[in-house]
Amino acid sequence: VQCNSKRIITPVDCRYRCWETLMAILVAYSAWVYPFELAFMSKSSPHDAATKRLLYISEYIIDVFFGIEIILTFFVAYVDPNTRLLVWDSRKIALRYLKTWFLMDFASTIPFGLIVYVCTDRHKLGLFYQSVFGMLRFWRLRKVMQLFRRLEKDIRFNYVLIRCIKLVLVTLFFSHLAGCVYYILADTYPHSGKTWIGSVNPNFREGHVLDRYIASVYWSITTMTSVGYGDVHSMNSREMIFNSVYMMFNLGLNAYLIGNISNLILEGTRTTMEFRNSIQAASEFVSRNQLPESLKEQILTYMCFRFTAENLNQQGIMNELPNPIRKSICEHLFLPAVQNAYLFKYISRETLLLLVAKMRAEYIPPGEDVIVKKQAPENIYIIMSGEVEVIDSKEGKEQTTKMLLSGDILGEVAAMYGKPHSYTFRTKTMSQLLWLKTSSLIEAMQTKPVDHQLILKSFREMN
Amino acid sequence: VQCNSKRIITPVDCRYRCWETLMAILVAYSAWVYPFELAFMSKSSPHDAATKRLLYISEYIIDVFFGIEIILTFFVAYVDPNTRLLVWDSRKIALRYLKTWFLMDFASTIPFGLIVYVCTDRHKLGLFYQSVFGMLRFWRLRKVMQLFRRLEKDIRFNYVLIRCIKLVLVTLFFSHLAGCVYYILADTYPHSGKTWIGSVNPNFREGHVLDRYIASVYWSITTMTSVGYGDVHSMNSREMIFNSVYMMFNLGLNAYLIGNISNLILEGTRTTMEFRNSIQAASEFVSRNQLPESLKEQILTYMCFRFTAENLNQQGIMNELPNPIRKSICEHLFLPAVQNAYLFKYISRETLLLLVAKMRAEYIPPGEDVIVKKQAPENIYIIMSGEVEVIDSKEGKEQTTKMLLSGDILGEVAAMYGKPHSYTFRTKTMSQLLWLKTSSLIEAMQTKPVDHQLILKSFREMN
Amino acid sequence: VQCNSKRIITPVDCRYRCWETLMAILVAYSAWVYPFELAFMSKSSPHDAATKRLLYISEYIIDVFFGIEIILTFFVAYVDPNTRLLVWDSRKIALRYLKTWFLMDFASTIPFGLIVYVCTDRHKLGLFYQSVFGMLRFWRLRKVMQLFRRLEKDIRFNYVLIRCIKLVLVTLFFSHLAGCVYYILADTYPHSGKTWIGSVNPNFREGHVLDRYIASVYWSITTMTSVGYGDVHSMNSREMIFNSVYMMFNLGLNAYLIGNISNLILEGTRTTMEFRNSIQAASEFVSRNQLPESLKEQILTYMCFRFTAENLNQQGIMNELPNPIRKSICEHLFLPAVQNAYLFKYISRETLLLLVAKMRAEYIPPGEDVIVKKQAPENIYIIMSGEVEVIDSKEGKEQTTKMLLSGDILGEVAAMYGKPHSYTFRTKTMSQLLWLKTSSLIEAMQTKPVDHQLILKSFREMN
Amino acid sequence: VQCNSKRIITPVDCRYRCWETLMAILVAYSAWVYPFELAFMSKSSPHDAATKRLLYISEYIIDVFFGIEIILTFFVAYVDPNTRLLVWDSRKIALRYLKTWFLMDFASTIPFGLIVYVCTDRHKLGLFYQSVFGMLRFWRLRKVMQLFRRLEKDIRFNYVLIRCIKLVLVTLFFSHLAGCVYYILADTYPHSGKTWIGSVNPNFREGHVLDRYIASVYWSITTMTSVGYGDVHSMNSREMIFNSVYMMFNLGLNAYLIGNISNLILEGTRTTMEFRNSIQAASEFVSRNQLPESLKEQILTYMCFRFTAENLNQQGIMNELPNPIRKSICEHLFLPAVQNAYLFKYISRETLLLLVAKMRAEYIPPGEDVIVKKQAPENIYIIMSGEVEVIDSKEGKEQTTKMLLSGDILGEVAAMYGKPHSYTFRTKTMSQLLWLKTSSLIEAMQTKPVDHQLILKSFREMN
């Protein structure tokens, strides 16, 4: 495997990705230019000669690139669809390519027109072969599709943007294609006055190639978008047939566009929708029960905060990650805060890492009880940000006795003494708390007696 | 922070919200008027002079407002996208503004046209600068977008209405814009007869400005909605190109409209859909099993009631709220009913509040067994509304022995004696019941011996 | 309440429902005829006189009906939106009506035109008042909307059909309305040749009223569907303005139609989609693991069966129903089968009902193990339909020893002896089994010693 | 049942399926040809005579097939919608057919036209009857719908393709139908110049039948797709009415097309959407917490792997399958690997099968801890593919001590000694592991003492 892989390129290689992107652009250019050439360049007019030569040369250059691509494909590993693993065996790679796309790629790359022209010196026959085999290059458009499928999965790019660009390119390509076909239909019709362009402008062939192209694409887009002004329209059965087919195709294309965009909008408005639904439900609850204005205000504010907190809490992702990665993240995020908390100031880094790996962070909206008086001490909390009130309730009346800020520890007294909490702790602002199971703390202290003493010392100093 | 915040405005401030709304309206007006001015006011005709002067003056007034806005922005706190907290530091605010929108805002506010005109006295150059920098003011349309994004999240406004208004405004704006561009294209074309408006009405420039504007917008809307009558249509390549671009754009706009509205409809019909699906399932169940007509009637009626009860039960929201808010709600909703129930008539307000905080309300459809005979007394219930039957079943036959109404208590006998229920309690109509866990009641009584005696006394008097 | 309710009508009363439906139809007719009258009947032409008289008379008859409706509304109970209960108090009903719709209903019912005409003898003034107050009757279209909202929730009607009819009616109504407005615009324009209809047919006023109506509606529909042939088109600014507004409106209407239908299709294809997805997943599993053909066949057949069984199992609905209804259903469905099972043949009807109320029915696809050898006897089963194999496995080889059919009991031997099952029972065809928890059976037997003896006797006779 | 079923055909019979498909094709052909015949073949022109005769003959042949179909239907079992079982009783089959479709099928099959023509020798009357009863054959199009409904559920065909073909056929059929109606309207109108085709080409009847057909369908499609060039348009009230109805119908058809395609796209993009959402969430998590680049890389790579692993793990399907099928699959997939694992090399095939039936396979992304040090040995694992690291952690530092490959066993040491694991096992690459509960292994060993000894022997040899 090792020695083979020197000659075999991995498809996720950065340089190969660039090459693939270049190929996709060349394919797109080629698919764009080919119908234009066929429609507007086949009848040689003297003042288009320069353009024509340029287009032909560019095409031969592209063909060289495609030739390189064919050779390259024999050296690129592929993903087996069953096991989702890369296949590095060069024999398997070759076999797979030869079985699938090779013939099409080869046939569409060889410049048959040029060969025939050079061999037989008959320009017309060359042109005919050119046209027939030229169709094959549309086959290569799958490369562009592959590029877009890759970009859609690449989170560096905006998904909506990529899909919109794709839709725009598809639409533009088909209108360009249809425009060229329209012109071919008119150009090759025997009775020039009975064509869509000839009936409006009898000497259309003498116009500039750009004017003719604009007129063709204009009609094509008029039809595609179902505007159909009618200033130009089909004049003979041949045009009617093509136009009918094209209109039917557009029905599908339009539905495809609408379906895609409607899908994107659905995805885009979901969050707003959920937010509104939750707020709406709370608001209806208030009005149905005719709660007083002050309570209403409190409820709605709380619901808004809760929504924000939900967005900030990303514990779900943490839980999905494997152990080593999770440890690194915890270390990166929590270590600075934890080693400054008074309880853990003097303990060894090793124990700190052990504790930090077991901590979880959570955003809590204001007004929520983090610790309720008289409950058993399950967790201890470290405040990362925000403010927490210490509330003492005597004979049903609540009283704020203290305010804890970032860096303070909650519930450690109850945890160290192993007795129920003697205060209620309630968030005053949106707060990020770091929590650690009491049992995890005790376990860690049991395995490290030295650190146990240090923690106890810090605790006694403080309380 | 405190002293700073005196000079810094919070963005949720009511007055600042009003100012923002005013700004959005001015921006909208300015974006509306600018293309109109450019298209229809550039060639000075004597009877439009008054309109023209009015528009120019209004524009300079708006520019003053925008100037104030730029200065104001340096004093408005912003929400940090990472922590979702307001940033009050005036240096950070200034830095952020300077880095992002300041340049654009500044460039689009300075009346370059006027300055150039005043400095050089060359009207044409002033006009040219005006046009170029005028484009920048479209940039400010983001303020309108922000306004709508805010309104969409504001539950005081109907979501569907806000989104429809947004869609209508977007559509109108683009048709207005395209109408103006159409006119500019025709107005500046050298050969007047070969333009869309000139081919229909050769002396179009002599018509009233409103007629010309209507004709332009009419064509624009005809194209946008893909109606495309064809009474006016592109006459030259320049018009064809713009029209093609505009038609392609409309394809996207139409898809956007359809996607949005289809999204709204989906959301709107969901409840009806769910109701129908549940009833449909029940109905199919009946017909598949060929149940008799009377049973069918019972089942369907019950299902309808259940759906209503589900809508009325909003315990879910209660559970999401934090402790202090929940307590206030319970007190507000349940206290009047509870203190009139015979069992709790004489006990102290303090104990009442304690009990009320632990109660839950539920709507129960008719025909459901709230308490089943011989089961252990888990809860006691207070009837808020509706009727409940007391059913005694002897040797398989059920017999209604009593009817309980609003204010009565269910299951308290079994709870006080700590023995299984001796009757089945079944709702007769849709009823709202308040339930309290027996264990919560016992716990409360243990902590307050005085109230315990009072409750026992009430209980003995009654039974 | 009781005495009041004699004079107050409940809105769910069948006769009142009929009256409401009649009202909705009259409202629809009235909203349909009114614009037609205004457009085509205002200029009296001799050969339309008969039609005109007919329309006027019909209108006055309808006004009488609406008068009755207004009086009736004071006697119809309404549903309070907060409690979802009917309000029977006639004072509240009257107050609510007077506060909400009364004024509109009253103003739109009084034939002001006739009154003014009779009082002042000035036809033109009467006509003017007629037009202004006639607009108010569009307000009554909410009755039609209410009818449709009710029909949508009524499971006797097909949901898709009702919504499609609603969409068709909305579309037809707006095209009719726009058609009438088009004609009014043309009819009242001073310069007849510069109108959409006058430019095509200068003497259009002399044509038959139906021809004119068809032409108007034809143009309206051409525009609404965005076909826009262009054979008729706006000729003056007034027409352009109305047409622009109408086209914009149609954009919304089209989006509304598409959104609705796309919603219906989504709902309709869900079941097929789920079926395909489950089968597809199974099929991919097979091909990914390259399982042999025979296994593939088995897996796919099983998955199909499972889908059918899931549709047949409607235990979910049973569980949602309250106790008394559930008992009746069990009795109706299972009693005939259970009393023929050999174990329960001689026991009292009372015990039978007790057992039947605790039974559950389930469809099981072929090939599934109902009872596995050596497991504890949790349930006993009665076969309602289908076939079940009794399988003995010795030294890893399975052997079918017996075939059980409809009416047979499964697992009762193990349950009676209280020891593990000695055979595996596997379904051979899709089977409906009735299962009863062993504990429920034992409990029932303990409370009824007589029936216990009868069951034991039956059991001993059989085994 | 058995003897009956010899004469009764099951509807899932392969040959009957073929016959049904043939019937559907014939129905489609017939529904296609009939309107064409009516429109273009009714006025006999000499050079269409051959075509006409051919069409008539083909129709009579099809009628014969339909006759056979009617007879056949009496012998085909049907699925009872309540029990979802096949009904084989020939009397029930006949009764059901006679009650439902028989009359329609019969009336639409009898060639009334021919009969009347033969009997009365009056061609015109025959034609009239032909037309009237011909309409009935559209009724048979339900067979085509049934075919498509069947194909949609058949996983051998691509769902998207089938639904697209259905949509295309529906669209084509309606445009063909409308095209024929258009021609009939023009052909039968008394004043030829006032028809849509006559106004453009006065001698249209002399043209070739294909030209006329193309023109008709062209207009039909122009209208259907709402392009509406306007080169042909309605000329009289009759055409206007039909065209209005057709345009309204198209509004619905377009909405139906868009709804269907938008539905398909929604389904198609779901997987990509989910993948992107999960990656996006991870990416936002990283940037919000400002994690270093290396951690970001690790997290994103892991998330991608996890997505792939989820796709590969198909335990869900395994769990849904019944016992015997599951056993066969396990045997097929796992036996080769298990019998090569050193622990199970010498044991009997019977015990192997027992163990294999209790194993589960799972793909695990790289970096995940399969076994954590010091935990109790719940499972033992066999590596099917991939690499697993053995990690020893001393004083907080992790060290890879060994690398396990395909065929190796994990955690068997701890399981055999019944003590906690002494190493952590972590996947290095994407790995497929086969896991077996330790308890299942012990249980199997207890029942087979001979194999127990063989396993112990293998274990001792290795360790």
pLDDT digits (tens, 9 = 90+) for B417-429: 888 888 889 988 8
Half-sphere exposure of B362 (CA within 13 A, CB side): 15
Average pLDDT, stretch D187-198?
Answer: 90
For residue range B382-400, list pLDDT tens digits in order: 998 889 999 887 766 788 8
- Say yes or no for a CB contact (<8 Å) between A226 and B226: yes
Q: What angle do CA D35, D39, D40 make, to 5 degrees?
A: 115
Please provide the average confidence, as pLDDT, over all residues in chain A: 85
What pLDDT was estimated at residue A126?
67
Average pLDDT, stretch D367-388?
Answer: 87
Read off the DSSP letter of residue B9: B
Kindly report the number of other CB atoms within 10 A of residue C418's CB atom: 10
For residue range B49-86, list pLDDT tens digits in order: 888 888 888 888 988 999 999 999 898 888 887 666 77
Contacts of B368 in chain C (CB under 8 A): 322-323
What pLDDT was estimated at residue C201?
87
For residue range A204-222, list pLDDT tens digits in order: 888 888 899 999 999 999 9
Dihedral sign computed on CA atoms, order B395, B398, B402, B407: positive
Residue A4 predicted with pLDDT over 60 = no
Beta strands in A83-208 (DSSP E): 86-87
CA dihedral A166, A171, A172, A175 (to 10 degrees): 160
Half-sphere exposure of D197 (CA within 13 A, CB side): 26
What pLDDT was estimated at residue A213?
93
What pLDDT was estimated at residue C1?
39
For residue range B27-57, list pLDDT tens digits in order: 999 889 889 988 888 776 677 788 888 888 8
What pLDDT was estimated at residue B249?
92
- Say yes or no for a CB contact (<8 Å) between C228 and B229: yes
Please provide the average confidence, as pLDDT, over all residues in chain D: 85
Q: What percentage of chain B has pLDDT greater than the value 70?
A: 95
What pLDDT was estimated at residue D2?
43
Residues 6+ apart with CB under 8 A from A352: A335, A338, A339, A344
Integer Rg of chain B from CA: 36
Contact D359, D436 (CB under 8 A): yes
Residue B197 predicted with pLDDT over 50 = yes
Beta bridge pairs of residue B410: B381
Read off the DSSP letter of residue C319: H
Residues 6+ apart with CB under 8 A from D42: D127
Q: What percentage of chain D has pLDDT greater than the value 70?
A: 95
What pLDDT was estimated at residue B2?
43
Distance from CA of D255 to the nearest CA of A (A): 9
- Say yes or no for a CB contact (<8 Å) between B365 and C323: no
Kindly report the number of other CB atoms within 10 A of residue B315's CB atom: 12
- Say yes or no for a CB contact (<8 Å) between B155 and A283: yes
Tokens of A34: 């080919």
Residues of A with CB under 8 A from a CB of C: 82, 226-230, 258, 262, 288
Strands of A369-371's sheet, edge to edge? Answer: A369-371, A424-427, A388-394, A397-404
Q: How far is CA A270 from CA A266, A273, A276, B264, C413, in A?
A: 6, 5, 10, 11, 57
Average pLDDT, stretch B121-130?
Answer: 70
For the ranges A6-20, A119-133, C16-30, C197-211, which has the lowest average pLDDT? A119-133
Residue B404 predicted with pLDDT over 70 = yes
- Say yes or no for a CB contact (<8 Å) between A258 and B259: yes
Residue A2 predicted with pLDDT over 50 = no
What pLDDT was estimated at residue C245?
94
For residue range D398-427, list pLDDT tens digits in order: 888 889 988 899 988 888 888 888 888 998
* Amino acid, res. B58: S
What pLDDT was estimated at residue C126?
67
Average pLDDT, stretch B449-457?
Answer: 88
Contacts 24+ apart (CB under 8 A), B400-407: B403/B428, B407/B337, B407/B340, B407/B341, B407/B382, B407/B383
The 10 Å CB-count burial string (b at 16+, else e) for A265-285 is bbbebeeebebbebbeebbeb
Contacts of D396 in chain A (CB under 8 A): 350, 353-354
What pLDDT was estimated at residue A3?
43
Average pLDDT, stretch D269-277?
Answer: 81
Nearest residue to D11 via CA among D2, D3, D21: D21
Average pLDDT, stretch D135-156?
Answer: 83
What pLDDT was estimated at residue B1?
39
A262, A311, A367: residue with CB nearest B263: A262
C185 alpha carbon, distance to own chain's centre: 41
Minimum Cα–Cα distance from D84: chain B residue: B288
- Say yes or no for a CB contact (<8 Å) between A218 and B251: no
Select from B161, B213, B219, B229 the residue whose CB has the most chain C CBs within 10 Å, as the one to mutate to test that interface: B229
Contact D4, D90 (CB under 8 A): yes
What pLDDT was estimated at residue D1?
39
What pLDDT was estimated at residue D396?
65
Residue A406 predicted with pLDDT over 70 = yes
What pLDDT was estimated at residue C108?
80
* Amino acid, res. D283: S
For residue range B92-123, list pLDDT tens digits in order: 889 999 988 888 888 888 777 677 777 777 66
Contact B228, C228 (CB under 8 A): yes
Residue located via tokens 């569980």: C319
Distance from CA of A63 to the nearest CA of B (A): 32
Contacts of C303 in chain D (CB under 8 A): 320
Distance from CA of D374 to the nearest CA of A (A): 14
Residue B332 predicted with pLDDT over 70 = yes
What pLDDT was estimated at residue C442?
87
* Amino acid, res. A460: R
Residue B171 predicted with pLDDT over 80 = yes
- Residue D237 to residue D214: CA distance in whole angstroms: 23
Residue A154 predicted with pLDDT over 70 = yes
What pLDDT was estimated at residue B396?
65
Contact A327, A357 (CB under 8 A): yes
Nearest residue to C137 via CA among C24, C25, C19, C30: C30
Average pLDDT, stretch C228-244?
Answer: 91
Q: How many helices (H) and strands (E) does chain D have?
A: 18, 10
- ipTM reported for the complex, 2 dp: 0.84
Residue D3 predicted with pLDDT over 50 = no
Beta bridge pairs of residue B437: B379
D223, D324, D332: residue with CB nearest C227: D223
For the ranges B110-114, C238-242, D438-442, which has the lowest average pLDDT? B110-114
Distance from CA of B361 to the nearest CA of C (A): 14
Residues 6+ apart with CB under 8 A from D405: D383, D387
Average pLDDT, stretch D239-247?
Answer: 94
Tokens of C152: 């949508």
- Residue B114 to residue B106: CA distance in whole angstroms: 15
- Say yes or no for a CB contact (<8 Å) between B262 and C266: no
Nearest residue to D327 via CA among C2, C424, B317, A100: C424
Residues of D with CB under 8 A from a CB of B: 82, 226-230, 258, 262, 288
Contacts of A219 in chain B (CB under 8 A): none
Residue D392 predicted with pLDDT over 60 = yes
In terms of pLDDT, which residue wins out, C455 or C111?
A: C455
In terms of pLDDT, which residue wins out, B47 or A285?
A: A285
For residue range B354-383, list pLDDT tens digits in order: 888 888 888 888 888 888 888 888 889 999
C226, C258, C262: residue with CB nearest A226: C226
Q: What percentage of chain B has pLDDT greater than the value 90?
A: 20
Residue C329 predicted with pLDDT over 90 = no
What pLDDT was estimated at residue D151?
86
- Say yes or no for a CB contact (<8 Å) between D265 and A250: no
Contact D186, D235 (CB under 8 A): no
Residue D376 predicted with pLDDT over 70 = yes
Residue B128 predicted with pLDDT over 80 = no
Contacts of C251 in chain B (CB under 8 A): 171, 224-225, 254, 257
Contact D247, C246 (CB under 8 A): no
Count CB pairs under 8 A between chains A and B. Answer: 150
Please provide the average confidence, as pLDDT, over all residues in chain C: 85
Residue A196 predicted with pLDDT over 60 = yes
B82, B229, B258: residue with CB nearest D288: B82
